[in-house]
């Protein structure tokens, strides 16, 4: 009876030791996994901080490169529409069917033929021999004359041009050109609205 009790006690002891070993092993693995996840999380966080800093730094550099910019509406586009359209891009919606426009929720809205994007560089040229204004400034886009800077802005812009304060100029079509409107019943109308070109002048430091 005593031997059986000793054997039972020994089995219990061995079982207890095994459980302790298993518990320690599980705890070690858990701690190791925890450390691994902490390291991975720290790396991801550092990478994210670095990305945010870089973007902020790039934005800051852009702000430093151009202390200011301004938008000016070009005038006289009506007289140069034939050359203006050469710099415009046809809008994807222009050739879509009634069904396509309906599915996209674009009925009862103006669908302009040309997109806002303008292709080609923008150049300002002082037209000294202009009979109406010796300070007149022509606006060229992609080498084509598309209009003028408003007379009220001429003197100021000329000073910036002469002192080489302008870095570069971009342009976009705010509105204008041929358009059509489709209605729920399938009918449509076509018309044309005057072009409205906006240029953005970016100044140097």
Are 55 and 73 found together in one domain?
no
Are 77 and 41 found together in one domain?
no
Are 123 and 187 found together in one domain?
yes
| pLDDT at residue 12, as a whole number | 74
H or E segment at 3?
helix 2-65
- Structure confidence by residue, pLDDT tens digits, 147-166: 999 999 999 999 999 999 99
Are 55 and 75 found together in one domain?
no
3-state SS string for 130-151 = CCCCCCCEEEEECCEEEEECCH
Domain-ending residue, one of 49, 65, 81: 65
Are 177 and 196 found together in one domain?
yes
Q: 65 — phi, psi (to 5°)?
A: -65, -35
- Structure confidence by residue, pLDDT tens digits, 46-87: 766 555 545 444 444 443 444 599 999 999 999 999 999 998
pLDDT tier at 2, thresholds 50, 70, 90: low
- The pLDDT mean for the chain works out to 84
Domain-ending residue, one of 44, 65, 86: 65
For a pLDDT cut of 70, what percent of the chain falls above it?
80
Tally of residues, the chain = 205
Residue 9 has pLDDT above 90, yes or no: no
The domain total for the chain is 2
Task: Give, in degrees to the nearest 5, the angle at Cα 166 between 161 and 172.
Answer: 110
Are 122 and 46 found together in one domain?
no
- Structure confidence by residue, pLDDT tens digits, 21-52: 887 878 778 777 766 867 676 677 676 655 55
Rounded mean pLDDT, 94-106: 95
The domain of 14 spans: 1-65
């Amino acid at each position: 009876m005593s031997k059986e009790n000793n054997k039972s006690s020994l089995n219990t002891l061995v079982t207890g030791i095994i459980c302790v070993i298993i518990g320690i092993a599980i705890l070690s693995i858990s701690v190791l996994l925890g450390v691994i996840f902490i390291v991975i999380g720290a790396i991801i966080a550092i990478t994210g901080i670095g990305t945010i800093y870089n973007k902020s730094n790039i934005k800051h550099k852009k702000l430093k490169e151009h202390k200011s910019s301004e938008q000016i509406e070009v005038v006289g586009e009506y007289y140069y529409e034939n050359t203006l359209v050469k710099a415009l891009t046809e809008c994807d919606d222009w050739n879509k069917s009634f069904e396509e426009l309906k599915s996209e929720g674009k009925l009862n809205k103006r669908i302009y033929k040309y997109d806002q994007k303008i292709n080609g560089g923008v150049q300002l040229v002082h037209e000294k021999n202009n009979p109406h204004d010796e300070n007149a400034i022509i606006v060229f886009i992609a080498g084509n004359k598309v209009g003028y800077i408003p007379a009220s802005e001429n003197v100021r812009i000329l000073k910036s041009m002469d002192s080489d304060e302008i870095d570069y100029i971009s342009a976009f079509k705010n509105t204008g050109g041929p358009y059509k409107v489709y209605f729920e019943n399938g009918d449509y109308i076509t018309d044309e609205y005057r072009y409205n070109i906006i240029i953005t002048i970016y100044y140097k430091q």
